[in-house]
Each structure stands twice: as C-alpha cells, then as structure tokens.
Amino acid sequence: MNAKYDIYAPADPTLAPGDARCPGPSVQDVLNADNQRVSPDFQAPRYTYLGNEDLAFDRYTSEAFHQLEVERLWCRTWQWACREEHIPKVGDYYVYDIDRYSVLVIRGEDMRIRAFVNSCPHRGMQFFDSDTQGTGKQFLRCPFHGMSWRLDGALREIPCRWDFPHVKDEEFGLQAIPCDTWGGFVFINLDANAQPLLEYLSPLPEHFAATPLEDRFVTMHTQKVLQGNWKMCMEGFLEAYHVLATHPNRLHMSAWANTQYDLLSPHVSRFHQPLTSGNAIHPRQITERQLYAELGHDPNELKEGESARNAHCDKLRRSLGESLDVDLSQVPNAIMLDSIEYHVFPNACFFPGITIPLIYRFRPLGHDKTLHDIMLLQPVPRSGHRPKPPAPVKLGMDDRYTSVKDFGFLDRVLDQDSDNFVRQWAGMRTSLKKGQTLANYQEARIRHFHATLDDYLKTA
C-alpha cells in the first residue's frame, strides 16, 4: 500500500513560516495514545520561528571564529567534566580540557568536589596531563619544584620557603572556579561570575525529575575524533531530518519527519523522535500486527484493537526490568522507547530514555576537528551496586563504532553519522554559496543554538 502523503509536495503558501509540519500523526498524537504517558508539561510543544536567513559557513570554517569562541564562549559556559562516580573517594581527580583551558576536578577530605585551573600558581606548570584521571591524592604536589596544596586548594608548603617572603599563604591558593553537580555529572565553569548551574540548566532539571540521571551508571564510554568543526559535528545530532538519507535502514519504523523540536530556553532545546510507532509517510505501510512482529513478538499475540507500541512497551518494561534488575513498571512509554534528546548549550546532549540512554559531548580540537564523547547510562539496579565507570575507548578518525565490543545497536547508526562529517567539512570549505539554508522547523535547534552563541560572542 502506498502512503497517502507526499513529502516532496510544494510547501503550503498559506502557512506562516515555521507553521508547516509533516503530515501524519504528530508526537502529541503518539504520546496521547500511550498507555503510560509522560506529563503534559514534559511533552508540550515549544517552538518559535526564528527566521530563515542562511547561516554563514565561516562560522565553522574560520580559525578566527574559533579563536573568538575560545575567548568568549568556552571560558563562560557550564560544561560537564566527568561523572561523580569517576571520583568517588577523597583525593580522586579528573582533568577536563577544553581547547587551551585545563581544569582539575578533585574530591576533598570533606567529600566536596572542587574545580581548580590545572596550572601551578608558581610558574604555571600543569599538575596533571591533559584528559587524565587518578586516585588517592592526599595533597597536590607540583612536579616542577614541589610546591604543594591541600585538596581544598589551600597552600600546604613551599620548598625553600625562606626565598618567598613575599608570598602570602591566603593569596597563594589554587585558582578555584565554579563547580557544581546535576544528574550525577560534575559541571565546571571558568567564569568566576557564572550564573548558578541550576538556573543555567533550566528547565532541564524539572524535565529530568522523573528520570534522575544520578541514579544511573556508565556502561560504555567512547571518545572519537571527528573531521570538522565541533558545531558542524554536533548539529548532525540535533535534527532527525537526515534520517531519510543517512539512516535508510528502517524508515518504515521511524516517524523521522514527525519528530517534535522544542526550544525550551536559551541554553536548552530538545527533540523527541517516536520510535516503534511506524511511519505514516513511508510508502511501505504496515499493520499493527506487522509492526508488532517487527518489534520482535508473535503477531498473533496482539489483541484486536491493541496498539503494537503499547503491547511492546508493556513486555519491555517487564523483560528489561528483570534483566537490568530495576523497577520499570511506572516508566512512561516515551521514556522507555523513544529517542528524546536534550541539548544543553554549548556542547552536551542528555537523553532521559531507557533504551536510548545516550550522553554526548562535543569539544573542539582546533577549528577543524572534534572530540566526540559518547556515554551509555543504565539505571542502578535494586542491589545499589554501581560498577566503576569504564575508561573511554579512544577511536581515531578512521576507527569505526562497529569495532567497539558491546556498543549495542547504535554502532552502525553512529558510523553513518560520523562518515557524513568528512564530506560535509570538505563541502563547507569549497562552497561558493556563503552559507547553509536551514529548514524552518526540523533544523530550528541549529538556528536557536547559533542565536545563543551570538549572545556570548558579542560581549567582550
């Protein structure tokens, strides 16, 4: 049977820009038919048309633009450095690097986590190498001349103290910077006057109240080098419009063009792509029974009038709950099944989902390469046992996610996404057209991100 919708039909000239949507069931329709629903406030659409001007390619390709971001963006925004479970004990530390900045996150004797600039107050030596972690420090001793500091940053001792009569202890502590936690993540901000973390993240904490990420643990962590500017790579993960051409494998199952995009605050946006609900615009239409079979069940078990999504989700709550040893009985269908991605400015994405439990972080390696962290999070089991987080699997530009053992079903999808960046980066640099032309709705999060970026960049 052919789908009754034509995605290539011209845009409706009677609609105001940004008002058009893909035909077929909306995310709201899907969620309203769920037998266990997310809250109305969680699911409410929040989109505003932000204009349709081209977005200049030199925002990505210019080294000067990258330098402006170093001066005005990376030193003023909250970024997650590590998980709390990376540094569970007194004296455990983690080094977070972002371009030329290096931050040392360490747990003190009072169990408080603090962040310091990873630079010795004496002559600037780094205490620890970039992107390393360690455990059990009783104090921090600089490897150059051996000055040392307590875990709370106070000066401990200076060798040959007789030669430093001009140093006042209280003025010679480590350079502390704002540090706070949310969802089990340790966030840092290099701006001493940063707004409080929870205010910056709003409304993320309310939206994740029912799916606390602090009650999850890391099962997988990869760090892959990608070709291209960090924004270009990140934006490949902010829309589902590319699913049609980039991930063509199971288009009849995924309502990619009906994904909902929400602009929640200057720092937070979201997409919600319903999975397991079929795809009303695909030429291959399937019945609920066929959908149920595609979801791995006996189609004859689906009762007349029952939705495959609901029946599948009920089974999954039980089977996955048993295998993970967690109670999933109250988890809404959308959280169980869908791809729901929250972007937090500038460089992080958090998914509340159970079957799509991703965390992303994108960091610039110069203006033309990106370091992409991916973590998978799983709910902590009833036993309360929280395994030690695995060390990141480091992947070079040519390494494939399919080569990573135990990555799960997302590996091929991530390879498809990563492969795009090589060509997109080359194409951006050779383009005679000066900028990219964005979809009004499906690529709204990219425009929204750049509007916030401009707000940061315009202030010296």
Residue 417 binding partner per list Fe ion, ligand FES, none, with a CB distance cut-off of 5 to 8 Å that depends on partner kind: Fe ion
Q: Is residue 417 within the footprint of Fe ion (CB under 5 A)?
A: yes
Neighbour tally for 392: CB within 10 Å: 16
CB of 331 to ligand FES, least distance (A): 50
Residues of this chain that interact with ligand FES (CB under 6 A) are 120, 122-123, 125, 142, 144-145, 147
Residue 439 binding partner per list ligand FES, Fe ion, none, with a CB distance cut-off of 5 to 8 Å that depends on partner kind: none
Output phi, psi for 158, to 5 deg.
Answer: -125, 120
> For helices 63-72 and 444-457, what crossing angle results, to 10°?
70
CB of 189 to ligand FES, least distance (A): 24
Q: Which stretch binds Fe ion (CB under 5 A): 188-196, 202-210, 249-257, 413-421?
A: 413-421
What contacts 370, CB < 8 A, 6 or more positions away?
225, 226, 227, 228, 229, 230, 232, 233, 234, 362, 363, 364, 421
Closer to ligand FES by Cβ: residue 156 or 247: 156
Amino acid code (one letter) for 317: R
Closer to ligand FES by Cβ: residue 147 or 377: 147
CB of 169 to ligand FES, least distance (A): 15
CB of 70 to ligand FES, least distance (A): 24
* CB burial of residue 162 (10 Å; 0-12, 13-18, 19+): exposed
Q: Is residue 92 within the footprint of Fe ion (CB under 5 A)?
A: no
Residue 177 binding partner per list ligand FES, Fe ion, none, with a CB distance cut-off of 5 to 8 Å that depends on partner kind: none
Closer to ligand FES by Cβ: residue 125 or 280: 125
For residues 227 and 425, the answer to whether their CB atoms sit within 8 Å is: yes
H or E segment and range at residue 79: strand 79-83
Q: Distance between CA atoms of 231 and 241, rounded to whole angstroms? A: 17
Closer to ligand FES by Cβ: residue 112 or 123: 123
Q: How far apart are the first and last CA of the chain?
A: 59
Q: Is residue 235 within the footprint of Fe ion (CB under 5 A)?
A: no
Residue 337 binding partner per list Fe ion, ligand FES, none, with a CB distance cut-off of 5 to 8 Å that depends on partner kind: none
Q: Distance between CA atoms of 102 and 187, rounded to whole angstroms? A: 13
Q: Is residue 341 within the footprint of Fe ion (CB under 5 A)?
A: no
Closest residue by beta carbon to Fe ion: 417
User: Could you please report the per-residue DSSP string of 233-264?
Assistant: HHHTTS-STTHHHH-GGGTTT--GGG-EEEEE
Closer to Fe ion by Cβ: residue 114 or 224: 224
Closer to Fe ion by Cβ: residue 262 or 341: 341
Q: Would you call 104 helix, strand, or coil by DSSP?
A: strand
Closer to Fe ion by Cβ: residue 78 or 421: 421
CB of 124 to ligand FES, least distance (A): 6
| Contacting residues toward Fe ion, per CB under 5 A | 417
